[in-house]
Structure 1
Amino acid sequence: MRVRRLAAWTALPLVVTLGLAACGSGGNGGSSGSAQDAAVSIQISEPQHLVPTNTTETSGSQVLAGLFSPLVDYDAQNKPYEVAAQSVTPSDNNKVWTIKLKDGFTFHNGEKVTADDYINAWNYGAYAPNGQGASYFFEKIAGYQDLQGEKPKAKTMSGLKKVDDLTFQVTLAEPYIDFKSMLGYTAFYPLPEAAFSAPGVLNDSYEQAPIGQGPFKMKGTWQHDSKLDVERYDAYPGEKPKVKDVEFRVYQQLTAAYSDLQSDNLDVLPTIPTENLSTAPTDLGDNYQTSPMSSFQFLAFPTFEKDYSNPDVRKAISMAIDRDEITKSIFKGSQQSARSFVSPVLPGYRDNTTGAAGQFNPAEAKKLYQAAGGPSKITISYNGDGGHKDWVDATCNQLKANLGVDCVGSAEPKFADLLTKVEKKQPVGLFRMGWVMDYPSMEDYLGPLYSTNGSSNYYGYSNPEFDRLVKEGSAAPTQAEAIKKYQQAEDILAKDMPVIPLRFGENVYGHSSKVKNVQMDLFQRVNLVKIEAAS
Structure 2
Amino acid sequence: MQSTLFVPDSMEDMLRVKKTIAVVSVAIAAVGMLAACGGGGGSSSAEGTYSLYIGQPENPLVPGNTTESEGNQVLKALFSPLVTYNDETSEVEYDGVAESVESDDQKNWTITLKPDWTFHDGTPVNAKSYVDAWNYTALSTNAFGASYFFENVVGYDDLQAADGAEPSATAMSGLEAVDDSTIRVELKEPFAIYPVTLGYSAFSPLPEAFFTDPDAFGRRPIGNGPFKADEDFVEGQGITLTKYDDYKGPDAAQAQGVQFKVYTELSTGYTDVQAGGLDIMLDLPSDAWATARDQFGDRYGERARPDITSLGFPTYDPRFSDPRVREAFSMAIDRKAITEAIFTNTRTPANSFGSPVVDGYRDDACGAKCELNVDQANALLDQAGFDRSQPVDLWFNAGAAHDTWMTAIGNQLRTNLGVDYVLRGDLQFAQYLPLQDSKGMTGPFRSGWIMDYPSLYNFLSPLYSIPATPPAGSNYVFYNNPDFDAALSAGNNAASTDEATTEYQRAEDILIRDLPATPLFYGLNQAVWSERVDNVKIDLFGDIEVADVTVS
Distance 1:308 1:55, change over 3 A: closer
Aligned to 1:234: 245
Deviates more, 1:424-433 or 1:92-101: 424-433
Offset at 1:67? 1.4
Task: Give the match for residue 281 of structure 1.
Answer: 293
Residue 477 of structure 1 pairs with residue 487 of structure 2: no
For 1:191, which of 195, 198, 206 is the aligned residue? 206
Checking the alignment, whether the CA contact within 8 Å between 1:293 and 1:523 is kept in structure 2 is yes
| 5+ residue gaps, structure 2 | 3-13, 20-25
SS of equivalent to 2:502: helix
d(CA) in 1 for partners of 2:216 and 2:453?
A: 30
1:94 aligns with 2:109: no
- Which of 152, 174, 178 is matched with 1:163 structurally? 178
Amino acid at match of 1:449: L
Aligned in 2, Cα 1:14/1:309: closer, same or farther, shift over 3 Å? farther
C-alpha deviation, 1:321, in angstroms: 1.4
Tell whether the 8 Å contact from 2:177 to 2:184 is kept in structure 1 after alignment: yes
Query: What are the within-5 Å matches in structure 2 for residues 8-407 of structure 1?
Result: 11-12=27-28, 21-28=37-44, 31=47, 38-47=48-57, 48-75=59-86, 76-149=88-161, 150-197=165-212, 202-238=213-249, 239-303=251-315, 307-370=319-382, 373-377=385-389, 379-385=392-398, 386-403=400-417, 405-407=418-420
* SS in structure 1 at match of 2:339: helix
Decide whether aligned partners of structure 1 residues 13 and 248 sit closer, same or farther in structure 2, where only a CA change above 3 A counts: closer
Distance 1:185 1:453, change over 3 A: closer
* Kept in 2: contact 1:84–1:101 (CA 8 A): no
1:102, CA displacement in angstroms?
A: 0.9
Deviation at 1:383, TM superposition (A): 2.8
Contact 1:443 1:474 in 2 (8 A): no
CA distance in 2, matches of 1:345, 1:252: 30
* Aligned partners of 2:40 and 2:277 also within 8 Å: no
Displacement after TM superposition at 1:433 (Å): 2.0
Label 1:218 to 1:427 Cα distance change in 2 as closer, same or farther (>3 A): closer
CA-CA distance at 1:194 after TM superposition: 3.2
Q: Counterparts of 1:409 and 1:15 in 2: how far apart (Å)?
A: 29
Deviation at 1:209, TM superposition (A): 2.5
The change in CA–CA distance for 1:29 and 1:421 in structure 2 (over 3 A counts) is closer
Moved more, 261-270 or 479-488: 261-270
- Change in 2 beyond 3 A, CA 1:162/1:217: same
SS in 2 for 1:413: strand
Q: CA RMSD in A?
A: 3.0
Which letter maps to 1:394? A
The aligned counterpart of 1:514 is 532
Q: What's the CA shift for 1:204? A: 4.2
Q: CA offsets per residue over residues 192-249 of structure 1, 9 Å max, x none?
A: 233333xxxx354333332221111223333443231222222212222222221112
TM-superposed deviation, 1:27:
2.5
SS of aligned partner of 1:151: coil
Deviations 1:374-432 (A, max 9, x none): 442451421352533222221222223233x1221330532576666666667823333
Length-normalised TM-score, structure 2: 0.86
Distance 1:402 1:215, change over 3 A: same
Q: Distance in 2 between matches of 1:22 and 1:237?
A: 38
Contact 2:64 2:202 in 1 (8 A): yes
Counterpart Cα distance in 1 of 2:280 and 2:433: 31
User: Contact (CA 8 Å) 2:309, 2:447: kept in 1 or not?
Assistant: yes
Label 1:172 to 1:287 Cα distance change in 2 as closer, same or farther (>3 A): same
Amino acid at match of 1:87: E
Amino acid at match of 2:49: A
Measure how far apart 1:20 and its partner are. 5.5
Instruction: Tell me if structure 2 keeps the 8 A contact 1:5–1:14.
Output: no
Distance 1:18 1:182, change over 3 A: farther
Question: Mean alpha-carbon deviation: is it higher for 324-333 or for 303-312?
Answer: 303-312
SS at match of 2:460: helix
Distance (Å, rounded) in 1 between the aligned partners of 2:31 and 2:461: 19
Cα distance between partner residues in 2 of 1:270 and 1:358: 29
Asked if 2 retains the 8 angstrom alpha-carbon contact of 1:18 and 1:252, the reply is no
Decide whether aligned partners of structure 1 residues 21 and 500 sit closer, same or farther in structure 2, where only a CA change above 3 A counts.
closer
**Identity rate of aligned residues, in percent?**
40
2 CA distance for matches of 1:277 and 1:375? Answer: 38
CA contact (8 A) 2:82 2:199 kept: yes
Gaps of 5+ in 1: 32-37
How many residues get paired? Answer: 522
| Aligned AA (1:407) | D
Aligned-partner Cα distance in 1 for 2:315–2:241 = 47
CA distance in 2, matches of 1:126, 1:436: 22
**Closer, same or farther in 2 for the Cα pair 1:366/1:30, shift >3 Å?**
same
Specify the SS of the correspondent of 1:269: strand
Letter in 2 for 1:513: E
- Deviation digits for residues 314-348 of structure 1 (CA, Å, limit 9, x no counterpart): 33332221101111111222221111111112111
Give the Å deviation of 1:108: 1.8
Partner of 1:35: none
TM (normalized to structure 1)?
A: 0.88
The structure showing larger relative contact order (alpha-carbon pairs under 8 Å, at least 6 residues apart) is 2
